[in-house]
Amino acid sequence: MKQYLELLQDILDNGVAKSDRTGTGTLSVFGRQFRHNLDDGFPLLTTKKLHFKSIANELIWFLSGDTNTRWLKENGVSIWDEWATETGDLGPLYGAQWTAWPTRDGGTINQIDYVIDCLRNNPDSRRILFHAWNVEFLPDEKLSPQDNVRAGRMALPPCHLLYQFYVANGRLSSQLLIRSSDSFLGLPYNTASLALLTTMLAQQCDLEPGEIIICTGDSHIYSNHLEQVREQLSRSPTTLPRLEILRRPASIYDYRFEDFSLSGYHPQPHIAAPVAV
């Protein structure tokens, strides 16, 4: 994950001070990319410990179409709590748009089903993608996340918003566009989640995992994360872990956390940092 650490250093060296929705302030650069070949290991940071259970269960939750935090909390994941209403609702964000994009006739489109059908039956298509940027349901930035949910909108607009897939020589590669990238806290989760999703789709479609590519728009470090970033950059990365999927579920929607085995993950200690709400 050397490229990720180089991005953090780039932001420290070249970032412009900008205001933001949370009022915290950031250092920001625009338009960056890094790549990782999944043959080289599973891209879970070793310069600080990440909670793989949260990453995997969040992805399972997205794929289920759920938009309430209840299931997440029952499965040890609290990363969405700050934005939810008192009943756990988050509005029609990621999972709703991935699996039940509303149509003009009152129906829905499951974009994940579409992707899998293309991967199996039309793998040379240049349209194998899904996204969550549904303009009708984007939140009003002047309102709190909870008030947006009560108004029928998303608690937050999608950050990781467009996923595209590419098949060549029996290998599945993926590219993710992140419009707003919290580079210390969020980006490592997004990277590992993309790698996990790519591996799951490859298994479902009889392909081998290939390369993941992350493209970031506004790539930033919050002003209250600067010391934590410097601490991380003082550490040297070690060998990446390996991911094994222990069974092949009937569909992309039937994976459980227990299906994933991560071996050789020996990270350096966790680095705590506050979430900008």
Q: Per the annotation, where are the binding residues?
A: 21, 51, 126-127, 179-182, 190, 220-222, 276
Q: Which residues pair with 172 in a beta bridge?
A: 167, 209
Helix (H) / strand (E) containing 273: none
Q: How do beta strands 101-102 and 171-182 pair?
A: unpaired
- Which of the residues 118, 159, 205, 215 is marked catalytic? 159
**Integer Cα distance of 16 and 221 in angstroms:** 10
- Name the binding residues for dUMP: 21, 126-127, 179-182, 190, 220-222
State yes or no: is 118 an active-site residue. Answer: no
Cβ–Cβ under 8 Å, residues 178 and 145: no
Strands (E), the chain: 16-18, 26-37, 101-102, 108-109, 129-131, 160-168, 171-182, 208-222, 242-245, 260-263
The contacts of residue 119 (CB under 8 Å, 6+ apart) are 128, 165, 167, 172, 201, 204, 205, 207
The interaxial angle of helices 52-64 and 186-204, nearest 10 deg, is 60
**What does DSSP assign to residue 19?**
-
Dmax over CA atoms of the chain, in Å, equals 55
Which positions are catalytic?
A: 159
